[in-house]
Amino acid sequence: MSLQIDADFEGGNIEIVALDGDRADLAIRPDSGGPWTQWFSFRVRGAAGRALTLRIVSAGASSYPDGWEDYRARVSDDGADWVLADTRFDGAVLEIRHTPRTNEARFAYFVPYELDRHEALLSRIAAAPGVTRRTLGRSLDGRAIDVLEMGEGAKHVWVLGRQHSGETMASWWMEGALARLTDPADPLALRLRQRARLHIVPLVNLDGAARGNLRGNAEGVDLNRQWRDPNPDNAPEVAAILAAMIETGVDVFLDVHGDESLPHVFIDGCDVDPESSPAQVAGVERFRQALLKASPAFQTAVGYPPSYGGAEANGIATRAIGLRFGAVAVTLEMPFKDAREDPDPQEGWSPSASARLGGACLAALDAALDEGA
């Protein structure tokens, strides 16, 4: 039986360049309407017991070629358990080698998180006591942009995930954070919900997730560059969320992402903005120190330089929301590579690692709510 390779499913992305026996040359399709190429997700059928060599020949020209150094692709023989594949990069071609145990194997840049699972998460959390779910607006493809809200405090905490749709670790992070937040026996969750009203949008870029994009929405717009003055015609996701933020105000903001190149968990805060107040700077530092205590994966030695974002920096959510609302605003980044501070030779940085970090971040959010410079 000849190999069959396709990405004809939600979130799929790959193009076949050549197929010869157990070897395939492949290319990553750019985001719909956008220039970015990095996310891949595809399946191989007729694969059981065959020593596959899968070559992504476009890797050297991808958006983040440094992201392939010391990177290992994720593979699953059953669609449920994902492990690291034998992966090497020569500066031009990313080569993945794997011998599947089953007829169908899945390969991906990171473990996928489908919209069905997202909907199940929303429904499960919305059924917990004290939680409400409401729709803030619609994406370009007509999908509901939903927020989960809980807590009775006077301060407002906003948390977003997956502005960049290919950063699926943010969805796994959400599972851990929301599970802990709704645990009635968790004293930290109870304290946080007493101190604040939490507004959580687990998946911002639904259209990009469905289309198999790395960063862009349905029109190829990078949503995390639109927060200064979003256009509802091409970035309705940001426009809808920002309108809701204006109604409530924002005291603490957390934006959850993944980074292609750096093998670390780190933050980028509004404290690097020269217009941030002493109270904002102190709040980011409290977040940082609390997360250092709560998570062995988090570190502070490596991260983005203050100049990150360049001319577009004022449209990044953390910068724009910090400036508009005077909020303690933080971007959390997780790696596509394994995390050097908390490595896992079997799975690398994984859904379970992301979920653990989500739970740990509650301590950092709680610390950020404290007052004082």
Q: Which are the catalytic amino acids?
A: 333
Query: Edge-to-edge strand order for the sheet containing 52-56?
Result: 15-20, 23-27, 52-56, 94-98, 86-89
Q: Tell me how far CA of residue 282 lies from CA of 278, 318, 371, in angstroms.
A: 6, 15, 9
User: Closest Cα to residue 207, out of 215, 199, 197?
Assistant: 215
Q: Tell me how far CA of residue 187 lies from CA of 182, 184, 190, 196, in angstroms.
A: 11, 8, 5, 14
What are the backbone angles phi and psi of residue 145, rounded to the nearest 5°?
A: -95, 100
Q: Where would I find the H helices in the chain?
A: 115-126, 169-181, 187-195, 206-211, 236-248, 278-294, 317-325, 351-368
Count how many residues are written for the chain: 373
Structure tokens at 22: 């157990």
Q: CA-to-CA distance for 89 and 87, rounded, in angstroms?
A: 7
User: Closest Cα to residue 353, out of 340, 339, 363, 364?
Assistant: 339
What are the backbone angles phi and psi of residue 62, rounded to the nearest 5°?
A: -75, 175
User: Closest Cα to residue 284, out of 249, 241, 332?
Assistant: 332
Paired with 43 in beta bridges are 6, 106
Other residues' Cβ atoms within 10 Å of the Cβ of residue 302? 12
Q: Any idea which residue has 């006591």 for tokens?
A: 129
